[in-house]
Structure 1
Amino acid sequence: MEPRLDFLTNPVSAGFLKHLVSAGRTLVDSPLPATTRELVALRASQINGCGFCVDMHTKESARAGETAVRLNLLATWREATVYTEAERAALELAEQGTRIADPAGGVTDEAWADAAKHYDEDQLAALVSTIAAINAFNRLNVLTRKPGGDYEPGQFG
């Protein structure tokens, strides 16, 4: 499958991407644990079928010390015993925030309350921002058919 547009070299899209990447980088210094941030980004990317982001966040998670077992079980996190209650709450929020057009109608009050039990307001703000950012990246890559497989850890900072 050939990419439809080189988002990095087109002047219009490259300018947009520069700002989106900058927004994403602000989350690196947020109080949300890096492992949670990477798991959420990876899970949303799996749901959205974004090969580039699945590749990127699998490799970045491993680089940050995530285990192969946890990475391999992520698509079935509800049935796995390797995630904390806080991570489960973040993953549920990420799934509902990614599937906003589903019949349930977006994020339930229950999912929000569960996340709020585990994360303070600043962490919730970072979690919501992470979910929004990864969904934007996923859509750009899926629309333009950016392939996965060639990402090198640390490529974007």
Structure 2
Amino acid sequence: MEARLNLFENPVAARFVRQLTAANKVLAESTLPAATQELVKLRASQINGCGFCVDMHAKDALHAGETATRLSLVAAWREATVFTDAERAALELAEQGTRIADAAGGVTDEAWQNAAKHYDEEQLGALVSVIALINAFNRGNVMIRQPAGGYQPGQFA
């Protein structure tokens, strides 16, 4: 399968992707734990059906030392015992922020307050930004049918 559009050769899309990638580097420098960022990216990508991003973030997380057990349980995080309370709060925020159209008010006050118990203002800003950023990547990749399976860690570093 081939993508409908090559994001790296299209003049507008390539500039846009470079900007999104630069935003991702800003987030990597934040105090929000890298493991939490990858879990959130993986969960949003699963919800959005973005195979390319599921592949990328699972491989990046493994490469960074995450366990296969935790990664395989991200989709069932509510029932899994391998996530901290802070990670659970981030995953809940990611789910609600990704499914924003499913709820009349978007993210619930309860989900926000739970996240605020575990993360400071800077980290909350990073968490919101990670969720928004991965959703943008997911939507673009799903629209162009970016194929999954061939990503290698560090490919876009």
TM-score range, shorter chain: over 0.9
**Residue 98 in structure 1 maps to residue 66 in structure 2:** no
The residue correspondences of 1:25-104 to structure 2 (distance < 5 A) are 25-104=25-104
Q: Which residue of 1 aligns with 2:156?
A: 156
Question: Partners in 2 of 1:70 and 1:148 — Cα distance?
Answer: 21
Structure 1 outlier segments of 4+, above 6 Å: none
RMSD after superposition? 0.9
Alpha-carbon distance, 1:73 to partner: 0.7
Secondary structure at the aligned position of 1:41 is classed as: helix
Question: Partners in 2 of 1:154 and 1:144 — Cα distance?
Answer: 22
Alpha-carbon distance, 1:3 to partner: 1.4
Question: Partners in 1 of 2:143 and 2:134 — Cα distance?
Answer: 14
Secondary structure at the aligned position of 1:138 is classed as: helix
Question: What TM-score, normalized by structure 2, do the two folds share?
Answer: 0.98
Secondary structure at the aligned position of 2:156 is classed as: coil
Question: Partners in 2 of 1:28 and 1:101 — Cα distance?
Answer: 28
The one-letter code sitting in structure 2 at the alignment partner of 1:68 is: A
Q: List alignment gaps of at least 5 residues for structure 1.
A: none
Question: What TM-score, normalized by structure 1, do the two folds share?
Answer: 0.98
Aligned residues, how many? 157
Cα distance change, pair 75–100 in 1 and its aligned pair in 2 (3 A):
same
Question: Partners in 2 of 1:17 and 1:2 — Cα distance?
Answer: 18
The one-letter code sitting in structure 2 at the alignment partner of 1:147 is: P
Identity of aligned residues (%): 70
Alpha-carbon distance, 1:103 to partner: 3.2
Cα-to-partner distance string for 1:74-129 (whole Å, 9 max, x where unaligned)? 10000000000000000000000000010353100000000000000000000000
